[in-house]
């Protein structure tokens, strides 16, 4: 992955045996009529839309960019870190998960940044991944792993330990663990009816619901499991469908090694990064029914100019996509 600075030395890893879930093939979807929109830098990892119809994304060098629907871009701020998941709050602030700086809030009018969360239970927040807000102003956010920063995201996958989590930031500023033991917690959204959060676990290849209301309040139930690809950031469309950015098909080598002797993965981690198992970039996004978890629509394609979809948002009559590995966003008509 691109980086805005020299990658720090590799940390030690402590892998464990882990058996990946079974694989259930998703439907084959047609390619989309895709329009690629260049960005002024690399790795726009997530994309969200504000009430004015402008898009927002964050680049690998820390810049936060406003993108007008016609493709014109304006750099509004610089976190000085690595911005990942984004969310437009009810008060119009842009909430930013930054792997190096924690959970931030941006005033889009002034470009002023404010730090909201840097630690959880006295531990530094390592890999703030995605964020959303409920109707009462409560903010929820995920941490992919409590052990490694974004630069070494592969370490978390190779270790195969469930060190990700879901957390809650209350209006009074207090932070509370909600769900722990997650396998690379990632995308996060509120269902259209506000009854639950839906969150993705990239390594576990599944979507789950954390119930906010009703008889199951405070518990987790699985929504879509055994996915044949790796879910990343997610969003709730105006029609209630849960759109999921599928960054890649299964990384076969990583899943083959996971249940085997941990020493094999320790040896693998010592190799240069270019020799580690990696994703296969493609244009892939799938919509799931928020109640049954059934896949109900999607796009799927291979292109030379765009792929490795890590973010998705519905804006007007378009589906916008972001990418970790290309210096661009893209959009297409919303699939039925």
Taking the chain (336 residues) in runs of 10, the rounded mean pLDDT of each run is 58 96 97 97 98 97 96 97 97 97 97 97 95 96 96 93 97 95 98 98 98 97 98 98 97 93 94 86 97 98 96 97 97 94
pLDDT score of 60? 97
CATH for 44-333?
A: 2.120.10.30
pLDDT score of 279? 85
Domain segments of the chain: what residues?
44-333
Check if the beta carbon of residue 56 is closer than 8 Å to that of residue 45: no
pLDDT digits (tens, 9 = 90+) for 177-209: 999 999 999 999 999 999 999 999 999 999 999
Task: Please name which of 269, 265, 270, 266 lies closest in space to residue 255, comparing C-alpha atoms.
Answer: 265
pLDDT score of 106? 98
pLDDT score of 8? 75
Q: How far apart are CA 267 and CA 15, in angstroms?
A: 11
Angle at 288 between CA 286 and CA 292, to 5 degrees: 155
pLDDT score of 6? 58
Nearby residues of 248 by Cβ (< 8 Å), 6 or more positions away: 229, 230, 279, 280, 281, 282, 284, 308
């Amino acid at each position: 992955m691109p980086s805005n600075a020299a990658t720090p030395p590799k940390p030690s890893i402590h892998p464990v045996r882990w058996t990946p879930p079974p694989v259930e093939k998703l439907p084959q979807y047609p390619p989309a009529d895709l329009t690629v929109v260049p960005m002024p830098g690399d790795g726009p990892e997530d994309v969200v839309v504000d009430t004015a119809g402008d898009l927002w994304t964050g680049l690998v060098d820390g810049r936060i960019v406003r993108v007008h629907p016609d493709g014109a871009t304006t750099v509004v701020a610089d976190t000085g870190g690595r911005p990942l998941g984004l969310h437009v709050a009810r008060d119009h602030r842009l909430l930013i998960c930054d792997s190096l700086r924690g959970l931030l809030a941006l005033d889009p009018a002034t470009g002023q940044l404010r730090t909201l969360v840097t630690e959880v239970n006295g531990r530094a927040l390592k890999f703030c991944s995605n964020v959303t807000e409920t109707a009462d102003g409560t903010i929820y956010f995920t941490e992919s792993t409590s052990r490694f920063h974004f630069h070494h995201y592969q370490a978390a996958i190779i270790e195969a330990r469930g060190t990700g989590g879901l957390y809650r930031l209350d209006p009074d500023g207090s932070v509370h663990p909600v769900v722990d033991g997650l396998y690379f917690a990632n995308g996060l959204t509120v269902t259209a009816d506000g009854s639950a959060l839906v969150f993705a676990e990239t390594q576990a290849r599944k979507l789950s619901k954390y119930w906010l209301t009703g008889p199951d309040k405070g518990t987790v139930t699985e929504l879509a499991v055994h996915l044949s690809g790796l879910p990343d950031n997610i969003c709730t469309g105006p029609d209630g469908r849960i759109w999921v950015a599928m960054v890649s098909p299964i990384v076969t080598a990583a899943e083959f090694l996971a249940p085997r002797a941990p020493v094999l993965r320790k040896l693998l981690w010592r190799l240069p990064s270019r020799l580690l198992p990696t994703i296969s970039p493609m244009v892939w996004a799938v919509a799931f029914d928020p109640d049954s978890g059934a896949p109900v629509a999607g796009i799927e394609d291979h292109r030379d100019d765009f792929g490795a979809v890590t973010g998705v948002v519905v804006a007007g009559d378009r589906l916008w996509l972001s990418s970790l590995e290309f210096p661009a966003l893209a959009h297409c008509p919303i699939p039925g």
